[in-house]
Amino acid sequence: MIRVHRIPFSTNVERVALAAGHKSVPIEWVDHADGDRSGVIELSGQRLVPVAELGTEVVRGSMRIVDRIEADHPEPPLYAADPVELAASRITMDWFERVWKGPPNALDGAEPPDADALRARSRRWTGWLCELLGTAPYFAGERLGVVDVCVFPFLKYAVVDPDPGDTEPFHAILAELLRADPHPELDAWVRRVDAHPRA
C-alpha cells in the first residue's frame, strides 16, 4: 500500500490521484492542514506535497511518484512504449513545469510590472498546448497518458471553477488566464479527463 501525504485542493496531489485511479492502485491518503506542514517536514525534510511512503522509502515530487506507480503497476500504461513518443512526452512535461507555469506563478502575489506581458505569454503558450492536443481525445492520442496526468490539474481551471472552499490564489489566476481565449477542444479534453477515476 502506498501512503501519500496531501493538503486540500492540491494540483500536484491530483496528478497522483489520477495516475493511481487509472491503474486501480489504492492510496492511503494522509491529510494535512495547509497551514501546518510539520508532519510533512518531519517525514521528508521539506514542506511541499505530495510525499509518498512506500514501506520505508519516502518519495517526494508528484511526477516522481507517478513514475514510481508506473514502474510498480505497469498496466494500463501511462507512458508510451515508443522511445520517440516517450521523449516527446518528457519534453512536453518539462516545458510545462519550467515554462508554461512561469506566468501564473509570477502573477501569484503582488501584480508584477510585466503583468501584461506575462498574461500575453500565457495565452500564447496555452494556444500552443491547444494545437498540440488538436482534436485528439488525449495528448498521446486515444488513451489517457502521462502528459494528461501532468497537465490536467492545472489546465482544468479552463472549465472547472475553483472549489468555494479553496482560497489558493494560484487556482483563481489559472482560471483567469485559461479563460482569456476560447478553446473548445481543450475544454472538451478537460471534461473527458475529469471523468476519469481518482484514487
Ligand X SMILES: N[C@@H](CCC(=O)N[C@@H](CS)C(=O)NCC(=O)O)C(=O)O
Contact residues for ligand X, defined by CB under 6 A: 10-12, 47-50, 61-63
- Minimal distance, residue 48 CB to ligand X, in Å: 4
Residues in the chain: 199
- Minimal distance, residue 9 CB to ligand X, in Å: 8
- Minimal distance, residue 153 CB to ligand X, in Å: 8
Instruction: Order the strands of the 27-31 sheet from edge to edge.
Output: 27-31, 2-6, 51-54, 57-60
Give the residue with the Cβ less far from ligand X, 12 or 126: 12
Give the residue with the Cβ less far from ligand X, 117 or 167: 167
Give the residue with the Cβ less far from ligand X, 17 or 130: 17
Which residues lie across from 141 on neighbouring strands? 138
Give the residue with the Cβ less far from ligand X, 33 or 120: 33
What is d(CA 19, CA 22) in angstroms, rounded to the nearest whole number?
Answer: 5
Rg (CA), the chain: 17
Strands 51-54 and 2-6: antiparallel
- Minimal distance, residue 116 CB to ligand X, in Å: 26
**DSSP-derived secondary structure letter, 141:** B
Strands 51-54 and 57-60: antiparallel
- Minimal distance, residue 131 CB to ligand X, in Å: 25
Give the residue with the Cβ less far from ligand X, 10 or 92: 10
Write the burial class of residue 73 (CB in 10 Å: 0-12 exposed, 13-18 middle, 19+ buried).
middle
- Consecutive H or E run containing 117: helix 115-133
- Minimal distance, residue 109 CB to ligand X, in Å: 12
What is d(CA 190, CA 26) in angstroms, rounded to the nearest whole number?
Answer: 24
Give the residue with the Cβ less far from ligand X, 44 or 126: 44
